[in-house]
Structure 1
Amino acid sequence: MRILRIFPVLFCLFFMHTISYAQEKNNAIQEPLAIKKLVEAKRNTTSSSLNTDKYNIQIFYGKNDQAKAALTRFKKLYPEMEATVIYSNPSYKVLAGNFKTRLEAERHLQSIKKDFENSLLLRPGK
């Protein structure tokens, strides 16, 4: 009778011992080289497209498809100035230029406001 009580306990101990050894293996995740290259390219474009220590002009704020249309229109009107679309929760922004001084940014803002009346100047770090 006593053996019948010990048997389930021993069985449970044996089963728990097996499970505890099953958790020791460390698995290394192998990323394909193409994914590593894509992640690195994304990091480079994100860091270079928005410079936070310079003035930018916000051309548009809204939905993604409208932002892309505004970017295309801006690039046709001002091909010499760089511009990009940035996601800002919950909408998208179209930012143009990386101006060192506020005076330079305000000069460009006056000419841009003729075509994009809702444009505004963004200070560095904003």
Structure 2
Amino acid sequence: MLFQKRKKHLYTLILLTLFVSNFTLSGQNITVEQDAKFEQLLNEKRKVNSSIAMNDRWKIQIFTGDNENSKKTLLAFKKENKNIDCSIFFQTPVYKVWVGNFKTRIEAERNLKDIKLKYPNAFLIKPNK
């Protein structure tokens, strides 16, 4: 019996809270001001994202393992090869370090040959979206 009364009071309290919160929020007007440069930057980002096609690009995977070692490998590679793009890709449960963004397999194989001198386990990949 006591449980039923408490349950009834709880439901009443919840409904009252929802009603009051809805009533107080419905009368407010919110205006957001944003810098024009922000919109310009957003448009540039949209253009860049639409032009990136991962399916037709070749990459070289130089490392597979945990997060900390993948970061170390990425930094070491960036120091040695400033002109080649590199990134970390997470695929459960491992982190992968991918380098390059090659249009053709031949171009990727040429770079793979040089990269294998420092990273002997490196291999070519063509990631899917």
TM-score range, shorter chain: 0.5 to 0.7
Aligned to 2:123: 120
Aligned to 2:81: 78
Gaps of 5+ in 1: 1-7, 29-36
Alpha-carbon distance in structure 2 between the residues aligned to 1:59 and 1:93: 8
1:53-72 aligned within 5 A: 53=55, 54-72=57-75
Query: How big is each residue's C-alpha offset from its partner over 1:13-72, in whole Å with a ceiling of 9 and x where there is no partner?
Result: xx59847844865868xxxxxxxx9xxx9xx7xx96x85221111010001111111111
Pair member with larger Rg: 1
Aligned to 1:31: none
Q: What's the CA shift for 1:124?
A: 3.7
Alpha-carbon distance in structure 1 between the residues aligned to 2:58 and 2:70: 20
Say if 1:61 and 1:67, in contact at 8 Å, map to a contact too.
yes
Alpha-carbon distance in structure 1 between the residues aligned to 2:70 and 2:77: 10
Q: Which runs of 4+ in 1 moved over 3 A?
A: 15-28
Aligned to 2:110: 107
Alpha-carbon distance in structure 1 between the residues aligned to 2:53 and 2:96: 15
Aligned to 2:54: 52
| Sequence identity percentage | 35
Query: How big is each residue's C-alpha offset from its partner over 1:56-102, in whole Å with a ceiling of 9 and x where there is no partner?
Result: 11010001111111111111221110101121111111010111111
Say if 1:58 and 1:121, in contact at 8 Å, map to a contact too.
yes
Alpha-carbon distance in structure 2 between the residues aligned to 1:20 and 1:100: 60
Alpha-carbon distance in structure 2 between the residues aligned to 1:82 and 1:51: 15
Over the aligned positions, Cα root-mean-square deviation in angstroms equals 3.3
Count of matched residue pairs: 98
Say if 1:62 and 1:92, in contact at 8 Å, map to a contact too.
yes
* Alignment CA distance shift 1:81-1:90 (3 Å): same
